[in-house]
Amino acid sequence: MKNITILGSTGSIGQNTLQVIKQFPDRFSIVGLSANSNIDILYQQIKEFHPRFVCVRDQKAAVNLKPKISPKIKLFMGEDGLEELVGQKRTDEIVLAISGSGGLPPLLKAIESEKTIILANKEALVMAGSIIMNKSGKKKVKIIPIDSEQSAIWQCLDGQDKERLKNIYLTASGGPFREKNKKDLQNISIAQVLRHPKWKMGKKISVDSATLMNKGLEVLETMFLFDVELDKIKILIHPQAIIHSMVEFIDGVILAQLSVTDMRIPIQYALSYPERLPTALPGIDFFKLKELKFEKPDFKKFPCLALAYRAASEAGTMPAVLNAANEASVDEFLKGRLEFISIPEVIERVLNRHKNIKQPGLGDILEADNWAREEALRVVNRLG
Ligand code: NDP
Ligand code: MG
């Protein structure tokens, strides 16, 4: 029996994780659940999965939840509460499904507490990849990816000699605007952005998938998680989203991971690893599939891709600045204060103004993150 705590259980990945766990009651037990403020969904989850520990980041929401739940459940609140939840001895594995930079402190705490980490959040790795991988390496803490591309790469590299790796082909569906011209990206509405053709996800990652910053963040995620050189990571647009990524070795052999487009597949393997468990999801019907297409990514139409490669090659605090400027821009877009097409412009201006620190400590990264958010807001105000 694995004892699991899910951080961000009320989100898209969190809810999918609970659906997987429900299929295997004799294998997984829920010890802890957490949300930012959505106590309605959290309350339903508490009734169904009976966690011992719960954390609500928003204090007001936590106070509202308290009288509704059994006094036997320990309720934590705030950011410190999240870290207390992570540190609980009863938990073996932490599913990190919080979106955005809020995932970094609990991730570091999970490493410190020597828990296996099942990682969906990519922003924390982008911000502080070297520090996270160093610390987890020293503590021998496993980080198992959920992100479908990272899961594919991890599965393809399993048992292989990484020294013989030639390229990683990171696939991307291309997002909702793959077939649009650059000039059609003017006056894009929030609703258009949130309608992803292949995946149903939280709002932030849906915007990132439309700008292709999601793939840019994944380039950084891949670089840190698998410790590979940037020039070996190639993006491949693959609209069917059936091949979730591929690795090529020096002898010309390419291994790919294929499965239906459903996050419950990589989530289940991350939870069951090293075992494989049966799924109730339908498999790929190759006779219906007809074709698998591949295209070059369009760096001109989607400048976020080039910005991410730039931040990755400049390294230091640049990736954290990229991430923070992106989070702030996405937030402004979702509030109706920034045009969709201006998101990369804001990020580029912030990157241009940043004085990079090459070997940053955690403090430098957090400072750069803060600065980049403020700078992004200043740029948005100037543009508006
Ligand atoms: P959602 O927005 O759907 O869910 C986010 C979850 O995190 C919610 O439970 C939310 O609580 C909670 N949360 C948000 N901010 C904080 C914070 N600062 N502190 C504590 N809790 C917080 O996101 P997704 O599930 O789509 O994505 C989660 C992560 O997984 C992201 O990093 C994303 O990039 C990654 N990912 C997602 C995929 C997907 O298919 N959705 C695929 C691959 C990766 P509340 O509900 O109360 O707001
Ligand atoms: Mg992905």
Domain boundaries, the chain: 2-145
Q: Ligand 1 in contact with 35 (CB < 6 A)? A: yes
Q: What is the pTM of this model?
A: 0.97
Nearest to 211 by CA among 196, 232, 233: 196
In this structure, what are the phi and psi dihedrals at residue 148, rounded to the nearest 5 degrees?
Answer: -60, -35
What distance, in Å, lies between the first and last C-alpha atoms of the chain?
54
* 306 CB burial (10 A radius; 0-12, 13-18, 19+): middle
* Ligand located closest to 196 CA: 1
Ligand 1 nearest-atom number relative to CA 121: 32
pLDDT of residue 223: 98
- How far is 64 from 272, CA to CA, in rounded Å? 35
Q: Ligand 1 in contact with 215 (CB < 6 A)? A: no
**In the chain, what is the greatest distance between 2 CA atoms, to the nearest angstrom?**
63
For the record, the structure tokens of 123 come out as: 């922003």
pLDDT of residue 244: 98
Q: Ligand 1 in contact with 323 (CB < 6 A)? A: no
- How far is 327 from 260, CA to CA, in rounded Å? 29
Distance from Cα 357 to the centre of ligand 1, integer Å: 29
pLDDT in tens, the chain (384 residues): 999 999 999 999 999 999 999 999 999 999 999 999 999 999 999 999 999 999 999 999 999 999 999 999 999 999 999 999 999 999 999 999 999 999 999 999 999 999 999 999 999 999 999 999 999 999 999 999 999 999 999 999 999 999 999 999 999 999 999 999 999 999 899 999 998 787 789 999 999 999 999 999 999 999 999 999 999 999 999 999 999 999 999 999 999 999 999 999 999 999 999 999 999 999 999 999 989 999 999 999 999 999 999 999 999 999 999 999 999 999 999 999 999 999 999 999 999 999 999 999 999 999 999 999 999 999 999 987
- How far is 119 from 129, CA to CA, in rounded Å? 13
In this structure, what are the phi and psi dihedrals at residue 56, rounded to the nearest 5 degrees?
Answer: -120, 120
Ligand 1 nearest-atom number relative to CA 101: 18
Domain 2-145: which topology?
Rossmann fold (3.40.50)
